[in-house]
Amino acid sequence: MIRPLVIANWKMNGSYAANNTLLTHLLPDIAVEPAIQIAICPPYPYLAQVGQRLIGTPVRLGAQNASLAVNGAHTGEVSVRMLRELGCDYVLVGHSERRSLYGETDASVTHRFAQVVKAGLVPVLCIGETLDERNRGQTDAVIESQLTAVLDDVGEAGFGDAVIAYEPVWAIGTGETASPAQAQAVHANIRSLLSRYSHALAAKTPILYGGSVKADNARDLFRKPDINGGLVGGASLDPAQFIAICDALGQATWAAHSGAA
């Protein structure tokens, strides 16, 4: 059975003081959601600080990226070994901002993915289409290309306990969001693609939605059968918003298990 998951992606935001204030407001509420898993991905400089605050709670630590290299002369890079030593459990791989702003390709994303798995960490593979690609009817083709690039390389065994995050690029940080029906259609297609490799893989892989998730749309998104949680950007910096998003996933999970959905 898939355990639903919410991941907070703080992006390049935060300070020691602001992080402490945010966590002080968040942790008493989000650490009591037994039906779901929650993770926080702060910027690299704050991984140790946030990791210390998460000790003794069920909330997990994640990183926003990882180097292609394991060690050596790679100034400015952070390796998977370092992330593991800092206590990370999750690593975002192939976020749309990394692809569009920093030139990450399907090939480099696949390499990062493999490094994360080899280190014993859980990769969160981010895939999604641009507005132009959606308008040209290429959503399914883009999703298939990005996903199969990884699966064809690492195989079912190498995919392991990976998480997938569908993030329509046109809905990230724009205030726009895919409708629950649009999101569900893409998530269902992703699960169908996974089933081509293995029905077991399709049945166990969490697929998160990551396009401007907010308190006011989370409930309807999370009630869809193939949406297993969210990758939350801006709203994760607002304690009330993020708590409401986690609550919405907890309630949707309870409803699905009780047959009340």
Residues recognised as catalytic: 95, 167
In the 3-class helix/strand/coil scheme, how is the chain assigned residue by residue? CCCCEEEEECCCCCCHHHHHHHHHHHHHHHCCCCCCEEEEECCHHHHHHHHHHHCCCCCEEEECCCCCCCCCCCCCCCCHHHHHHCCCCEEEECCHHHHHHHCCCHHHHHHHHHHHHHCCCEEEEEECCCHHHHHCCCHHHHHHHHHHHHHHHHHHHHHCCCEEEECCHHHCCCCCCCCHHHHHHHHHHHHHHHHHHCHHHHHHCCEEECCCCCHHHHHHHHCCCCCCEEEECHHHHCHHHHHHHHHHHHHHHHHHHHCCC
Residues 147, 162: Cα–Cα separation, whole Å:
12
- Cβ partners under 8 Å of residue 132, min gap 6: none
- Give Cα 143 to chain centroid, integer Å: 16
